[in-house]
Amino acid sequence: MKRNRIIVIVDENELTWESLGFLKQQAEIYQATSIQDALSHLSVCSYHLILIALQQEPETVCQLVETIRKLVITPMIVLLSEHAEIRNKIIHLGADTVLIQPCAAEEIGLQVYALIRRYTEWKSERKEENPILVGKLEIFPFQRNVKWDHKIVPVVKREFDFLYLLASTPGRVYTYSQIYQLVWQEYPHGDIANIIYCMVHRLKRKLKKVDVSAEHIIISVKEVGYCLRGYKES
């Protein structure tokens, strides 16, 4: 059984070893080395919870919370110093819980447990009959089916995962490295651009068999990666 995964964004001494040890009993912990490192990981890796404890300017913390919430819907806990006056703003920007330091390790652990439980229950209850729609492309996550204009497109696992990834945020460009890590679930090695190109080429042929225009929904961004054409139905 897979353990829950938590990403921790902390300044030195802002979160005690006792608190980290308590969290490690509940989940796998990744401790980000910087804000940029955290954002990079959140863009390519899946976590069950984000924990922020930064001794930074209030505006920096607010900007980080806002940026993360635009990137992912993962539950977020923010630890603030005793005299912080930005609690309400941080909640409105997307944090789920704000705790005031000093805070007992047990209290942090209980909040982590409650938010992860609620998040995993919500994910399991998502209705499979609500597909992701991008133009004429329909993706059914639960059944792992793909349709174009209501016609089945026969895809294999990685082709589905690739389309699902891109369709979740149409118009966003995913790099070769991001695609490889999320679809192949391996650390990038070898000529990943060519590996992905071959998979996309096969996928485009399948789309083209259903509709000659369907393959054009996948856009190649030279020397960067791929995205799905984002457009509204007319």
Interval 48-67: pLDDT, tens = 999 998 888 888 899 999 88
Same domain, 68 and 147: no
Same domain, 113 and 167: no
Same domain, 185 and 218: yes
CATH number at residue 77: 3.40.50.2300
Q: Half-sphere exposure (CA, 13 Å, Cβ side) for 87? A: 12
> Pick from 102, 125, 148: which residue ends a domain?
125
Q: Residue 220: which H helix or E strand, with range?
A: strand 218-221
- What is the value of pTM for the model shown? 0.56
Does residue 233 lie within any of the structural domains? no
Whether the CA torsion 181, 185, 191, 197 is positive or negative: it is negative
Same domain, 121 and 137: no
Distance between CA atoms of residues 150 and 174, nearest Å? 26
Digit-coded pLDDT (tens) for 172-187? 898 998 888 888 876 6
> Pick from 70, 97, 125: which residue ends a domain?
125
* Residue closest to 118 by CA, chosen among 147, 86, 76, 157: 76
The total of structural domains in the chain comes to 2
Digit-coded pLDDT (tens) for 125-165? 654 557 889 999 999 887 788 999 999 999 998 999 899 98
* Residue closest to 68 by CA, chosen among 99, 29, 88, 96: 96
